[in-house]
Amino acid sequence: MQSLLNKKIVLGISGGIAAYKAPELARQLIQEGASVQVVMTEAAQQFVTPVTMQALTGNPVYTSQWDSSIASNMAHIELSRSADAILIAPASADLMAKLSLGLADDLLSTLCLARDCPLLLSPAMNKQMWEHAATQRSAQRLNTDGVAILGPASGFQACGEVGMGRMLEPVEITEQVIAFFQKKSLAGKKVLITAGPTFEAIDPVRGITNHSSGKMGFAIARAAVEAGAEVYLIAGPCDLETPLEATGKITRINVVSAKEMHAATLAAADCDVFFAVAAVADWGIAKPAKEKIKRQGKAAPSIEFIANPDILLDVAKAVKMKGSKPYPYCVGFAAESTDLEAHASDKRQRKGIPMIVGNIGPDTFASDFNQLLVIDETGSKKIPQAEKLQLARQLIGLVAKKI
Ligand code: C5P
């Protein structure tokens, strides 16, 4: 799936060592379907060449407003007129200061002043420069002017220092650009999601778990952040990266057992929407052994199970009404081996929730794809096979209309 299909992006590159990541960023934007038009400042060309950017994007690279070989010397107006967004990565302290004052003394700054499309900046600079009151003032002013500032992150810097000011990685910038273009159907809403499996310890080295990969829950978390929500992601053991972490709009709480997931979820249950996507173990171990259980000949140990708390049921029991709408709006998931619609409908009734989503198999666990059957008070609706992120966006669209 290409999430930037038909999007025209002007990629501005200003002078800073992080410019060495601009070719990779251009490549990723193109991979997502965008067409990329590069504009470079004079300083940027000290770090990466226009030829590199031209070869990667397949488009001429603009470096000066004084280039008389270009048919139109109104490039600064035309480039922004046809663009869906201008993205500047890296954005240097100098460029940010300039843009915050509305200065226009080279092609890139002139283009920004003359634009009628959104502007996104990904700052990159030494930590002292980032922390300097002047830069903070620039960032604040740009923010007030409606410019989106992506990052920066904290970490190792080219100057040898460690701190705030590192440019986000190209993959993070690309994810944020994609998010920028998504409909903000959950702006101002708080969304809680459980995802992944749980692990029930038998002893310090053994336990019982399941095949849930967490991919669907994480895709819903990403789609919810894209839609403008503040997201709490309660994750069972899985090695997936937290989506859109650099936005600061997602809080991930890692848990292991169903009991821990229950406690973490209930503590965060004051939310607008709750998606119970986790494959929670139905039973835990009554008395997990403190030491590793030793093998005793051929005799197998007997393990006593106890029922785990039903997280979704407990959140659903505490639902209040906010006006005429349930708060939180609870969405359950169902994976069944037979008769999905009947079992899922029954589950929806039993748990007293307004919506349940059936995973239409056969192989939904580790796959990036799925098909969904959405059941609510109006009946059932199939969302055909697609990537989990695409399904998640559609599901978020449906839920947003309910709250
Ligand atoms: O019938 P079952 O309990 O398996 O229904 C599945 C739904 O309930 C899923 O949304 C799952 O996340 C949720 N669930 C839960 N806590 C449990 C068991 C299931 O939240 N202990």
DSSP assignments along 185-248, one per residue:
TTTT-EEEEEESB--EESSSS-EE-----SHHHHHHHHHHHHTT-EEEEEE-S--PPPTTGGGT
**Residue with CA at minimum distance from ligand 1 atom 3:** 310
Alpha-carbon gap, residue 341 to 358, rounded angstroms? 7
- Ligand 1 pocket residue status of 355, Cβ below 6 Å: no
The reported pLDDT for the residue numbered 69 is 72
Q: Please give the structure tokens belonging to residue 317.
A: 């029991």
- Segments of the chain with pLDDT less than 70: 70-76, 361-365
Statement to judge: residues 274 and 137 lie in one domain = no
53 is a domain residue: yes
Same domain, 127 and 245: no
User: Do 294 and 344 fall into the same domain?
Assistant: yes
Q: Are 347 and 215 in the same domain?
A: yes
Looking at the fold, whether 28 and 103 belong to one and the same domain comes out as yes
Q: Do 196 and 172 have their domain in common?
A: no
* Residues 164 and 200 reside in one and the same domain: no
Measured N-to-C along each axis, helices 133-144 and 93-101 cross at an angle, to the nearest 10 degrees, of 50
Is 363 among the domain residues? yes
φ/ψ of residue 258, rounded to 5: -60, -40
| Domain assignment present for 13 | yes
**Residues 75-121: tens digit of each pLDDT:** 667 888 889 999 999 999 999 999 999 999 999 999 999 999 999 99
Q: What is the reported pLDDT for 74?
A: 67
Q: Which residue has the tokens 């996104």?
A: 120
In a domain, 2, yes or no: no
Q: How far, in Å, is the centroid of ligand 1 from the Cα of 332?
A: 7
Q: State whether 118 and 214 are in the same domain.
A: no
- 210 and 340 both lie in a single domain: yes
Residue from 112, 117, 159, 238 carrying the catalytic annotation: 159
**Domain assignment of residue 138, yes or no:** yes
Residues 327 and 284 in one domain: yes
Characterize 91-106 residue by residue with b for buried, 16 or more Cβ atoms within 10 angstroms of its Cβ, and e for exposed: bbbbbbbbbbeeebeb
- CA 276 – ligand 1 centroid, Å: 7
Q: Is residue 1 part of a domain?
A: no
- Ligand 1 centroid, distance to 309 Cα (angstroms): 9
Last residue of a domain, one of 134, 163, 181: 181
Are 165 and 123 in contact by the 8 Å Cβ rule? The answer is yes
Structural domain that includes position 366: 190-400
Is residue 117 within 8 A of residue 85, CB to CB? The reply is: yes
Q: What was the pLDDT predicted at 281?
A: 97
Q: Is 136 exposed, middle or buried (0-12, 13-18, 19+ CB in 10 A)?
A: exposed
Beta bridge partners of 331: 275, 355
Question: Cβ distance 234 to 194 under 8 Å?
Answer: yes
Catalytic residue check, 117: no
Q: Is 63 within 8 Å of 107 (Cβ atoms)?
A: yes
**Which domain CATH number covers 281?**
3.40.50.10300
- Assess whether 248 and 319 both reside in one domain: yes
pTM: 0.95
Indicate if 248 and 378 belong to the same structural domain.
Answer: yes
Is the CB of residue 36 below 6 angstroms from any atom belonging to ligand 1? no
Is residue 3 assigned to a domain?
Answer: no
Q: Which of 181, 213, 248 is the last residue of a domain?
A: 181
User: Domain of 45: which CATH number?
Assistant: 3.40.50.1950
Total number of domains constituting the chain = 2
The Cα 329–Cα 192 span in angstroms is 10
Q: What is the pLDDT, as a whole number, of residue 364?
A: 59
Burial 283-305 (b: 16+ CB within 10 A, else e): ebbeebbeeeeeeeeeeeeebee
